[in-house]
Structure 1
Amino acid sequence: MSNELLFLGGFLVFITIILAIDLNMGKKSGGIVTMKKAGIMSFFVVALSMCFYFVLITYGHLLHGIDSMEKLQEVITKHKHPVRIVPDNLDLSLQLYNQNLGLEYLTGYIVEYALSVDNIFVMILIFGAFGVAEKNYHRVLFWGILGAIVMRFIFIFVGAALIAKFGWIMYVFGAFLVITGIKMFLDKDKEEKIDTQNHPVVRFANKYFKVHNHFVGDKFWVTIDGVKKMTPLFLVLLIIEATDLIFAVDSIPAIFSVTHDPYVVFFSNIFAIIGLRSMFFLLAGIIDKFRFLKVGLALLLTFIGVKMLLHGQLKEIGFETSHSLLIIVSILGVSILASLIFPEKKKDRTLKYDPKHDDQFRH
């Protein structure tokens, strides 16, 4: 356990440093993130994610302190890794184990990163519906991502404990993902809207807190006449967090179809999440160009759900992590390529915020 805590502690320190750099960059630019800066940050985070992949395929066995055949077999059995031990050859067995661990991490990362795109669709709608100033996007997304990391940590390790104790939960997750994938496909052309008046988070905040009816710069809380009030900007942050919670219900079970090792699930999740903010600014202006991406994500969730439902049968025919990675990359690649080859006819998709219908939130 000490090895796992040491590995996890070092990882969290590393992520904290990245987030501190990100926060500092946002302050220096006054909150405005250009496409160029978002592109550089996205490349930086993806590069770090790939570096971590090489760390795992080289030193992955140190995560669980594997130093013998017995320990290796124990870890493989516990986390159901599809790895075959080579008798009397610990070095080769560790090499095979590390390679699979790296593949599981990489596959989980790609799944989570892809599903994050759907999250971006909703974030754009939220910012537009509430009339959030562009200069405040960075601040809301930064704290939103920080909150998401804490929630994912809880979700992942609780989920791992449940799966370890109740194996049948994998079938529940699988059925849920298949239903979610089918629903996403059927709703792919449905126009999503954010009701600023009747959103559950708005109703909850108005019921239990004092909510100021105007934005106050980039402040989350203000004190007026001795009364501390929540600003609409903090309300937007709460909605972002609630949205991520909903998406986590899809994405975390999806990654558990790739690996049962909660640490690998956590690593792949967090690297995808810290790249979400820069990806938001990179895709915000062009996301509508990927018209078939929703179809791709629907197929992705359905495939993962079916894989969870048939994991026993797939294991018998030799279906491995590399096969999952190939299918997932193919689904995403085809959906993106099809979007570029067959672009949607131009139409007005501008998000409009009409203060006549909602005068509660103003700058």
Structure 2
Amino acid sequence: MDVSALTWIITLVVLVGVLLLDLLIIGRRPHEPSIRESSLWVGFYVVLALLFGLGVWATSGGRFAGEFYIGWLTEYSLSIDNLFVFVVIMGRFAVPRQYQQTVLLIGIVLALLMRGGFIAAGSALVSQFSWVFYIFGAFLVYTAISFLKQGEMDAADVKENALVRWSQRHLPLSNSFNGTRLTVQSETGRRLFTPMLLVLIAIGTTDLIFALDSIPAIFGVTKEPYLVFTANVFALMGLRQLYFLLGGLLDRLVYLNIGLAVVLGFIGVKLVLEALADNSLPFINGGEHVGWAPHIPIWLSLTVILGSLTIATVASLLKASKDRRKELADVGSH
């Protein structure tokens, strides 16, 4: 895929412009968006991604468009998992609803910056060392197994990380928020950090962990840096509004981790098979390509990823409905 410098510049300018629009909206009127507002924004970003994929199709062909759509879908599903952790963090630190938009936008900006750095590093590694896919594949399979061991998503599974604990022990902290500010002056004149600092530390470290998962996953779908970057950006766009749109629904997606485990495991195996097919390591098959290792086609990748996420979502909603009926029956029996 041949992407000119001008195309990169136009893409970056447009995406930064959309991000600045988000910043201006929040900066002028911090608020909890309505269902209608959230739905319109989420729909806008989804349509934007679909149109971008069609643009890739028109300019570079169906193969690269397919890679973009698969990458976007994979990264979007991982971002929703990231969103679940954001929900837990907001609840843990009791962030007022009117300030949650700001926290979410900062989290998304941090995620973009971290993923941008990982994409640059990953692209350099992939272009120089094809064997890096063995490492990426093994890491994704390990992550998939970890997701399966975790089982149903539960807020209790999200623990405070070491950096947050260190900050709580060593930094002078106030007990209350001061809007979105990170510091407040006490009655004695001492400058204290607000709980907002702890929230941003927790959000930032969460972004780092998810970036480590998402970048190998997207490189398992496409090796084109432009598609890797744009799929990540479109997956992160609209997460702020999606957070308020889904609301309590996130708590019902109890099998999302299992669906993600299947997706990551599949991509991990796909990466290892492709590494074998293009093998150049001297201690594997004498440095020759492994003939039986297939290149998995795009249509099969899309089917497996979309099917796994759909089944996980439907199963989660059915379980939530069943649990709700059981609760009502128990209340009625008493």
Q: Secondary structure at the match of 1:218?
A: coil
Distance 1:24 1:333, change over 3 A: same
- The equivalent of 1:298 in structure 2 is 261
Aligned to 1:50: 50
- Partner residue of 1:325 out of 302, 314, 319: 302
Deviation at residue 33 of structure 1 after TM alignment? 1.6
Question: What's the counterpart of residue 356 of structure 1?
Answer: none
1:205 aligns with 2:177: no
1:230-283 CA deviation, whole Å, 9 max, x = no partner?
321132112111101101111110010011111210110011012221221122
Given that 2:152 and 2:255 are in contact with CA atoms closer than 8 Å, whether structure 1 keeps it comes out as no
State how far apart, in whole Å, the 2-side matches of 1:227 and 1:44 are: 46
Change over 3 Å in CA distance of 1:227–1:158 after alignment to 2: farther
Where does structure 1 lack aligned partners over 5 or more consecutive residues? 61-97, 349-363
Deviation of the 1:226 alpha carbon: 6.7
Three-state SS of the structure 2 residue aligned to 1:327 is helix
Summarize deviations over 1:63-102 as a string: whole Å, max 9, x none.
Answer: xxxxxxxxxxxxxxxxxxxxxxxxxxxxxxxxxxx22111
Tell me the equivalent position of 1:33.
33
Mapping 1:1-363, distance limit 5 Å = 4-27=4-27, 29-60=29-60, 98-189=61-152, 191-193=154-156, 194-195=158-159, 199-206=161-168, 210-223=172-185, 228-311=191-274, 312=277, 317=294, 319-343=296-320, 344-346=322-324
Runs ≥4 residues deviating over 4 A: 206-210, 223-229, 313-318
The range that moved more, 243-252 or 319-328, is: 319-328
Rounded to whole Å, the distance in 2 between the matches of 1:288 and 1:208 is 33
SS of residue paired to 1:32: coil
Q: Is the 8 A contact 2:30 2:101 kept in 1?
A: no
Per-residue CA deviations over 1:103-147 (Å, capped at 9, x if unaligned) read: 111110000001112111111110101111111110011111112
Q: Provide the TM-score with structure 1 as the length reference.
A: 0.77
Alpha-carbon distance change, 217 to 171 in structure 1, aligned in 2, over 3 angstroms: same
Structure 2 counterpart SS, 1:48: helix
Q: Describe the SS at the equivalent of 1:345.
A: helix
CA contact (8 A) 1:31 1:139 kept: no
C-alpha contact (below 8 Å) 1:30/1:135 kept by paired residues: yes
Count of equivalent residues: 308
| Greater share of residues in helix | 2
Computed over aligned residues only, the root mean square deviation of the Cα atoms, in angstroms, reads: 2.5
Contact 2:82-2:210 at 8 Å conserved across structures: yes
- Long gaps (5+) in structure 2: 278-289, 328-334
Q: If the length of structure 2 is used for normalisation, what is the TM-score?
A: 0.84
Deviates further, 229-238 or 187-196: 187-196
Quickly say closer, same or farther: Cα 1:34–1:201, change in 2 above 3 A.
farther
Letter in 1 for 2:261: A
The code of the aligned residue for 1:214 comes to S
- For the 8 Å contact 1:185–1:295, the answer to whether it is kept is yes
Tell me, yes or no, if the aligned pair for 2:119 and 2:215 is still in contact at 8 Å.
yes
Deviation at residue 165 of structure 1 after TM alignment: 2.0
Cα deviation, 1:154-204, whole Å, max 9, x if unaligned, reads 1001011112222222111111111111121121136443556xx322244
